[in-house]
Amino acid sequence: MGKGDKKTKKGKRTAGSRGKARPSKRVAAAKKATAKKAAPKKKAAKKATKKKAAPKKKAAAKKKK
């Protein structure tokens, strides 16, 4: 995780390379533009469903003495 690690931003800066951890400015700008163009998808309309009531509890039978 230092200057010699090409998988980190610090290592990429030292090596002068680009990639997933340190994308070039034009690639990063293109991704942002694409994200803005894609309109947010509408959520599917939820169907009106009635909640079922919990079953009523039966009274416990009284014990005979």
Mean pLDDT of 44-59: 75
Q: For 39-50, how does the pLDDT look when each residue is reduced to its tens digit (9 = 90+)? A: 566 666 666 677
Instruction: Show the tokens assigned to 17.
Output: 């390379």
Q: Give the span between the Cα atoms of 62 and 45, in whole angstroms.
A: 50
Q: Calculate the CA 4 to chain-centre distance.
A: 32
Mean pLDDT of 19-44: 73
Residue 56, pLDDT score:
83
